[in-house]
Amino acid sequence: MSSNLSFVLNKPNDVSFEERPIPKLKSPHDVLVAINYTGICGSDVHYWVHGAIGHFVVKDPMVLGHESAGTVVEVGSGVTDLKKGDRVALEPGYPCRRCPDCLGGSYNLCHEMVFAATPPYDGTLTGFWSAPHDFCYKLPDNVSLQEGALIEPLAVAVHIVKQARVQPGNSVVVMGAGPVGLLCAAVAASFGATKIVQVDIVQSKLDFAKSFAATHTYLSQRVSAEENAKNLIASANLGKGADVVIDASGAEPSIQTSLHVVRMGGTYVQGGMGKSDINFPIMALCLKEVTARGSFRYGSGDYKLAIELVAAGKVDVKKLVNGVVAFKDAESAFKKVKEGEVIKILIAGPNEKVETELDTSVDPAKLEAAKGNTGCC
């Protein structure tokens, strides 16, 4: 077979390319996938820069990446639903399947989760990936492999919007217009939300959001959370507040504003991951009887729905992609994400041919929209 060149984080700001053995199928229910494209997540950049996220610390060299799509090159003897040549989106976290959380239907909460590019486990910026067949989702003919690499962040958004129980006719405020916030807005629209207000601190991101899924935008102000919320409600004509508020920023002022924007009896979902501890307006939560939920990764049915939304033309993930770089240029792609020069950039697999380093058809509005993106969680 071909190269299994892998993009390895040795320690903060120290990466290298390493030829690693091609993985073997660990069970008859596994498949081997040649990686075609991988997106970069803020968490990859965070590990690259800081070497840790919370209690997940990179102690040994770790392959980065977990937003991938690829082509099946080998199937185990027990696999009946996939064959060589099938194009798949990879779900990159593998739960134990036996614990109460797995058996209760919330496998994303499994304590034994093996998640790609979350230490100590290697990620998908590599040539070949071995995975259980039921975590490899066949792409319909009208969904490309590049779109397939965007299914992971879209599944994050699907899970957040499901946690928010968005109903037809709802008003939904999404804090943050990075990839996750933009995708939350698009998923909320597909769930029937009729008013979708995207909020950010960078105007160019809001301009892009308006061209993507938001019906209204609001540039967050450096005033008190109560005043910011009052102005947001007035500017989007939200009456007594929004039915649903989603935080996809992780920023403390955004979270504080959210609790003042949500209506009495409304729903708040925490999707963003920022500081572990913040000042939280707990009295607003209590007095308004707000339903508050967390959202972590994705679970049963989320990947399937994400793929269906793309296949049905409900979420146009292609619009988020600024370009594709060759595997050898992986580090420069990380720099572009860190510097906020792109919304999403894809890294081709080491065995994939790429014509140009960065797609020259990039819409300048997209690049403008990405400015100010920290790329870190």
Ligand X SMILES: NC(=O)c1ccc[n+]([C@@H]2O[C@H](COP(=O)([O-])OP(=O)(O)OC[C@H]3O[C@@H](n4cnc5c(N)ncnc54)[C@H](O)[C@@H]3O)[C@@H](O)[C@H]2O)c1
For ligand X, the binding residues (CB under 6 A) are 42, 156, 175-181, 199-202, 205, 220, 248-251, 253-254, 271-274, 295-297, 372-374, 377
Instruction: Tell me which of 205, 260, 297, 366 binds ligand SST, using CB under 6 A.
Output: 297
CA–CA separation, 256 and 101 (whole Å)? 30
Cis upstream peptide for 95 (omega within 30°): no
Contact flag: residue 156 with ligand SST (CB under 6 A): yes
Instruction: Tell me which of 4, 38, 71, 118 binds ligand SST, using CB under 6 A.
Output: 118
Contact flag: residue 160 with ligand SST (CB under 6 A): no
84 or 111: whose CB is closer to ligand SST?
111
Provide φ and ψ at 234, rounded to 5°. Answer: -70, -45
User: Which string of DSSP letters, residue by residue, matches 199-226?
Assistant: EES-HHHHHHHHHHT-SEEEE--SS-HH
Contact flag: residue 43 with ligand SST (CB under 6 A): yes
CA–CA separation, 264 and 304 (whole Å)? 33
Per partner kind, with CB cut-offs from 5 to 8 A, the member of ligand SST, ligand X, none near residue 254 is ligand X
71 or 295: whose CB is closer to ligand X?
295
Per partner kind, with CB cut-offs from 5 to 8 A, the member of ligand SST, ligand X, none near residue 118 is ligand SST
193 or 376: whose CB is closer to ligand X?
376
30 or 152: whose CB is closer to ligand SST?
152
Which residues, in sequence order, are bridge partners of residue 292?
A: 268
Sheet of strand 5-11, all strands in order from the earlier edge strand to the far edge: 14-19, 5-11, 62-63
148 or 181: whose CB is closer to ligand X?
181
Distances, alpha carbon 309 to alpha carbons 142, 228, 304, 313, in Å: 12, 33, 9, 6
The minimum distance between CB 155 and ligand SST, in angstroms, equals: 8
Q: What residue type is assigned to position 62 of the chain?
A: M
Q: What residue type is assigned to position 221 of the chain?
A: Q
List contacts with ligand SST (CB under 6 A). Answer: 41, 43, 53, 115, 118, 152, 156, 297, 377
